[in-house]
Structure 1
């Protein structure tokens, strides 16, 4: 059996990817801090759960590993701005180190899931050869990772970059701070759909099932076609204007629930707007997405209706990070002699 090392395995994408890899017959080393819990991954004899920070990975972890999918990331713009230094360390520096260690220990393929957000504001439709324009710490860290990792590619070390569209859809580590997911929840819960002004901005979308399918495809694709290459991951029909996307979400939720949904505008205009071409991945790998906004909304509404998922502090990434930091500081302040109420009595004698 071949082994895949996955960083960020306990996250939104990782908890969808890992079960697929196991089903395909791979052994998986699943590395994460598991801020959102280990229980979101399935129990499996071929799954090794490793609780570790990717900034501190031991080199021994890379021995006998065939492939690395380096998902780890502080995973959205608001979190990236609040935890600026950590974002650069994790999204950029740790992934460069992981790529170098992968090459050192004979890993055959390394996949870097990056983001279309590095295109920033663009007037024209962009492809993989277009100039980038990262506007946030999250986007800048992804760009730096790409720039430092792609040159590592050679005949024995296949490196591929995936510039993912904004991801949506159900995951065991659910997120309601992603565009389609958040819109769907608001429409379902309150009959109000919050939209950031002014709605004309474009954003490419991709379902979490589709992007994880691409990751698995890249493990076996002809290396001559993918080595040292960047692929935008999404579909041309999934370049949505936010206003029109809101209308699709509202209509779909209405059809699924029979309840009226109204769109409510908020905030200042979002200047991150970019339309992306996905011709390359279709031409070279023959891949096209299976999901669209409507099918993704139906999936989430079904989960909500069945009570299988709900919006909590944990499903809003930045809020959960803030909560963890708050309680860390409280506990650090209160703990004495190895505990709070239960302490090491020997230390006070």
Structure 2
């Protein structure tokens, strides 16, 4: 039974990945700060929770580990801009450090989930050989992580990079600050999808189940096939123009939904080619945006998503910081009222 160390294990992708690894017979060390709670991961005899910040990684965490999936990140552009220094520390420096320790201690495989956002905005269809042009702090930190980690690869230490499209779909640690998820929430709550003009801008998308399937695939793939490789993770059919995407989501739901246009035309646009992952790994995405929207709508209707206040990442970070200050000001002797 192989052991996988997953960083960021309690996050949006991690809380989908960890149960999937356990169901496939892996032991998992799930390392996270657990900003969104430890309840997103159900107890399992093969699951070990490690409450730690990746900026303070200890060598003992790597004992018996065969592979690392380094999901940890300050996620999305608004959070990256708000917490710029922490984003570079976590998304770049801590992940490079994790890879260095993993290699030193004999871990065989390291998977870096990066982002297609490092390509920037372009009129061309980009692939893994295209020049990168990261625009946001989040994207720049991802690129620096790639650049710092890939050179560590050798015949004993397999390194593979996943450049993920924008992720969507239901997760125990739900996020509504992602395009398809946010559109679906707007449709559910107000019957309206807010969309910046003019809807012709392109974005690549991938369902959270699909990208975690790729992570599992990369754990088992032949090292000679994937070592030192970069794979765009998504599918050509999931390159969407946002206008048609909003209509596809609206038509998939069992309610009347309108699209509300706002702002000036958005010139930020890019399309990604996903042929490599299909040809090299024989992998194809299973989910479409419409299926993901229906999945989320049903989860909302059934009450499966109870903690809405945690679903906007930047908003929750700010809430934690606010309460941290309040508690520090009133705490005495390690307590509030009962001493």
TM range (shorter): over 0.9
The superposition leaves residues 62-96 of structure 1 with CA deviations (integer Å, 9 ceiling, x where unpaired) of: 12110000000011000000011110000000000
CA distance in 2, matches of 1:247, 1:82: 32
CA distance in 2, matches of 1:271, 1:38: 40
**Paired residue for 1:59?**
59
**Paired residue for 1:305?**
301
Equivalent residue of 1:128, what SS? coil
How many correspondences in the alignment? 339
1:50 Cα offset (Å)? 0.5
Q: How does 1:214-293 map to 2 (within 5 A)?
A: 214-253=214-253, 257=254, 259-293=255-289
**Paired residue for 1:326?**
322
**Paired residue for 1:10?**
10
**Paired residue for 2:69?**
69
What TM-score do the two structures reach when normalised by structure 1? 0.95
In 2 relative to 1, CA 270–74 (structure 1 residues): closer, same or farther, beyond 3 Å? farther
1:194 Cα offset (Å)? 1.0
CA distance in 1, matches of 2:32, 2:322: 21
In 2 relative to 1, CA 52–271 (structure 1 residues): closer, same or farther, beyond 3 Å? farther
**Paired residue for 2:80?**
80
CA distance in 1, matches of 2:79, 2:44: 32
Q: Is the Cα contact below 8 Å between 1:120 and 1:274 reproduced in 2?
A: yes
Equivalent residue of 1:43, what SS? coil
1:328 Cα offset (Å)? 0.5
CA distance in 2, matches of 1:70, 1:271: 32
Query: Does residue 133 of structure 2 align to residue 133 of structure 1?
Result: yes
**Paired residue for 2:121?**
121
CA distance in 2, matches of 1:164, 1:17: 14
Q: Is the Cα contact below 8 Å between 1:176 and 1:311 reproduced in 2?
A: no
1:156 Cα offset (Å)? 0.3
Query: Does residue 296 of structure 2 align to residue 296 of structure 1?
Result: no
1:283 Cα offset (Å)? 0.5
CA distance in 1, matches of 2:266, 2:80: 17
CA distance in 2, matches of 1:267, 1:172: 33
1:337 Cα offset (Å)? 2.6
**Paired residue for 2:41?**
41
The superposition leaves residues 214-248 of structure 1 with CA deviations (integer Å, 9 ceiling, x where unpaired) of: 00000110111100000000000100011111111
Q: Is the Cα contact below 8 Å between 1:153 and 1:227 reproduced in 2?
A: yes
1:195 Cα offset (Å)? 1.1
**Paired residue for 1:29?**
29
Q: Is the Cα contact below 8 Å between 1:71 and 1:112 reproduced in 2?
A: yes
CA distance in 1, matches of 2:267, 2:317: 25
Query: Does residue 93 of structure 2 align to residue 93 of structure 1?
Result: yes
Query: Among residues 321, 331, 334, which one is paired with 1:335 in the alignment?
Result: 331
What TM-score do the two structures reach when normalised by structure 2? 0.98
Equivalent residue of 1:39, what SS? helix
**Paired residue for 2:158?**
158
CA distance in 2, matches of 1:114, 1:235: 16
Q: Which runs of 4+ in 1 moved over 6 A?
A: none
In 2 relative to 1, CA 185–103 (structure 1 residues): closer, same or farther, beyond 3 Å? same
CA distance in 2, matches of 1:42, 1:337: 33
The superposition leaves residues 33-80 of structure 1 with CA deviations (integer Å, 9 ceiling, x where unpaired) of: 001111110110000000000000111111211000000001100000
Equivalent residue of 1:231, what SS? strand
**Paired residue for 1:347?**
none
1:265 Cα offset (Å)? 1.9
CA distance in 1, matches of 2:299, 2:191: 17
**Paired residue for 2:195?**
195
1:272 Cα offset (Å)? 3.1
